[in-house]
């Protein structure tokens, strides 16, 4: 089993909290061809190798090196929620828009309305410079690619954050439906 191709390079990349995507060429090809073998190799080390349905690989463990604390994910989640809401408000197909477009920092909706600005300030993002830092932190996590013209695009691993945001949004919608009384229901006079 220790004849797995590129084992050291794959391990080094994944243990830092990075993702292995198609962009990593031969590393991705090796994992794709022998996923079960690599998974079995890493399990005794307490590392759970995951293959996302969007065809990228990562370690999922509670103690993996490079796993960001939840607090550092909050600004990214707020950033993502704003993009999702803005795209939905414009009638765009959200997933396709987020995962196929190339965005400019100046064109982002995050600092264009008082409401969005307030959300961003709550996670200590006050201006375009802070937005750039946030985007570049997503680059270091392998979620985005940043270009010299001050634009960026999301990469396949961004699906993890996107999926989590959708899951939270769906749960919140469900919870609000359960909590709010239906319109048109008679009001119980004893509740007043």
The last residue of one of the domains, among 17, 40, 59, is 59
Beta bridge partners of 20: 57
Give the global pTM.
Answer: 0.68
Mean pLDDT over 180-189 rounds to 50
Does 192 fall in a domain? no
What's the confidence (pLDDT) of residue 63?
44
Whether residues 43 and 77 share a domain: the answer is no
For residues 156 and 96, state if they share a domain. Answer: yes
pLDDT at 181: 54
| Residue 23 included in any domain | yes
Q: Output the six-digit token pair for 3.
A: 């004849």
Q: Does pLDDT of 113 surpass 90?
A: yes
Mean per-residue pLDDT of the chain: 84
Q: Would you give the distance in Å from CA 117 to the centre of its chain? A: 21
In a domain, 189, yes or no: no
Same domain, 47 and 76: no
Give the CA angle between residues 99, 164, 130 to the nearest 5°.
65
Any domain includes 64: no
**Which two structure tokens, joined as six digits, stand for 126?**
């006050």
Q: Which of the residue ranges 31-35, 47-51, 85-89, 166-170 would you say has the lowest mean pLDDT?
A: 166-170
Residue 183, domain member (yes or no) = no
CATH number of the domain within which 55 lies: 1.10.10.2250
CATH code of 128's domain: 1.10.10
Residue 163 lies in a domain: yes
**Structural domain for 33, as ranges:** 7-59
Confidence tier at 67 by pLDDT (50, 70, 90) = very low
Other CB atoms within 10 A of residue 48 CB: 14
Tokens found for residue 188: 């119980």
167, burial (CB in 10 Å: exposed 0-12, middle 13-18, buried 19+): exposed
Whether residues 94 and 156 fall in one domain: yes
CA angle 109, 162, 41 (to 5 degrees): 145
**Closest C-alpha among 78, 101, 118 to residue 152:** 101
Domains held by the chain: number: 2
Give the closest residue to 130 by CA, choosing from 66, 74, 71, 75. 75
89 and 39 part of one domain: no
Are both 126 and 155 inside the same structural domain? yes
Residues 112 and 131 both lie in one domain? yes
Over residues 4-23, the pLDDT tens digits come to 999 999 999 888 888 898 88
Q: Give me the pLDDT at residue 66, please.
A: 44
SS3 164: helix
**Model confidence pLDDT, tens digit, residues 133-142:** 999 988 888 8
Q: Does 65 reside within a domain?
A: no
Cα separation, 111 vs 125, in Å, equals: 9
Neighbours of 101 (CB within 10 A): 15
pLDDT-derived band at 2, boundaries 50, 70, 90 = low
């Amino acid at each position: 089993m220790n004849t797995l191709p590129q084992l050291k390079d794959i391990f080094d990349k994944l243990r830092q909290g990075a993702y292995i995507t198609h962009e990593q060429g031969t590393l991705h090809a090796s994992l794709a061809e022998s996923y079960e073998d690599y998974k079995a190799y890493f399990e005794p080390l307490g590392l759970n190798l995951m293959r996302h349905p969007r065809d990228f690989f990562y370690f999922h463990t509670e103690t993996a090196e490079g796993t960001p604390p939840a607090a550092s994910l909050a600004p990214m989640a707020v950033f993502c929620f704003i993009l999702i809401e803005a795209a939905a408000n414009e009638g765009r197909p959200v997933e396709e828009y987020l995962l196929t477009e190339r965005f400019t920092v100046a064109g982002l909706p995050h600092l264009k309305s008082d409401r969005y600005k307030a959300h961003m300030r709550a996670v200590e993002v006050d201006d375009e410079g802070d937005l750039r830092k946030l985007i570049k932190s997503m680059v270091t996590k392998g979620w985005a690619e940043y270009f010299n013209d001050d634009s960026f695009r999301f990469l396949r691993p961004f699906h993890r954050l996107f999926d989590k945001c959708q899951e939270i949004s769906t749960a919140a919608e469900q919870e609000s439906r359960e909590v709010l009384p239906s319109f048109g229901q008679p009001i119980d006079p004893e509740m007043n």
